[in-house]
Homo-oligomer: A and B are copies of this chain.
Amino acid sequence: MKTQTQLTVRYAETDQMGIVHHSNYAIWFEAGRTDFLKNTGVSYAEVEARGVMMPLYELTCRYISPAKYEDEITVITRLKALSRVRIILSYEVVNRKTNTLLAAGETAQAFTDRALKPLNAERAIPEIYAMIKANGGNSDGN
C-alpha cells in the first residue's frame, strides 16, 4: 500500500536560493505520514489521545531536484517496517506536473507513552496496531 498526499509549495517554504528550504521536506513527510495512517484507518490524533506518542528517532533525506514556489507536489508514503516498538516509513516527493522525483527519505519512529518512554504498541493500542499491520501493506514481522 502506498499513500499519495498532494500539496502546493508555499511561499514561506522557499529560501533565498529560490527553492524550497530543505527543512520543509521533513514536514511534508509528516503530512504524508498523517495520510498514510488515515488510509490504514487510523487517526494519529486518536493514537495520541490514547496516550501513545510516536517521536522520531531517525530521519534521512536525499534531495534530488529542487521544488519551487507554487509547484504541485505529491508525497508518496509507504510502510517499510513495523514492529511492536517502532515504525519505519519511506517517502518519495514528486513534482506532479513534470513527474520528477524531487526527494526521497525515511523516518523511524518509536512507540512511547506520554513521558516518551518506549512501550509495546501491540499491547497499548492492539486494534490500531493490527490495522496498521493489516492495511499498511508491509511489515518485518517482529
CB distance from A86 to the nearest CB of B (A): 12
Residues in A lying within 8 Å of B, measured CB to CB:
8, 10-12, 14-19, 21-24, 26-27, 30-31, 34, 43-45, 48, 53, 55-64, 66, 68-70, 116
Closest residue of chain B to A16 (Cβ to Cβ) is B14
- When all copies of this chain in the complex are counted, the total is 4
Closest residue of chain B to A69 (Cβ to Cβ) is B45
Closest residue of chain B to A54 (Cβ to Cβ) is B17
Interface of A is mostly: mixed
Residues of B within 8 Å of A62, CB to CB, are: 57-58
Residues of B within 8 Å of A56, CB to CB, are: 22, 63
Docked complex Cα distance between A19 and B11 (Å):
12
Residues of B within 8 Å of A26, CB to CB, are: 12, 22-23, 26
- Specify which of B18, B30, B59, B61 is in contact with A11 (CB 8 Å cutoff): B30
Tell whether, in the assembled complex, residue B10 and residue A30 are in contact, meaning their CB atoms are under 8 Å apart: yes
Tell whether, in the assembled complex, residue A27 and residue B12 are in contact, meaning their CB atoms are under 8 Å apart: yes
Complex A-B: 27 CB contacts under 8 Å = A8-B31, A11-B15, A11-B16, A11-B21, A11-B30, A11-B44, A14-B16, A16-B17, A16-B18, A16-B48, A17-B48, A22-B26, A22-B59, A26-B26, A34-B70, A44-B69, A44-B70, A45-B68, A45-B70, A56-B63, A57-B62, A58-B63, A59-B60, A59-B61, A59-B63, A60-B60, A66-B116
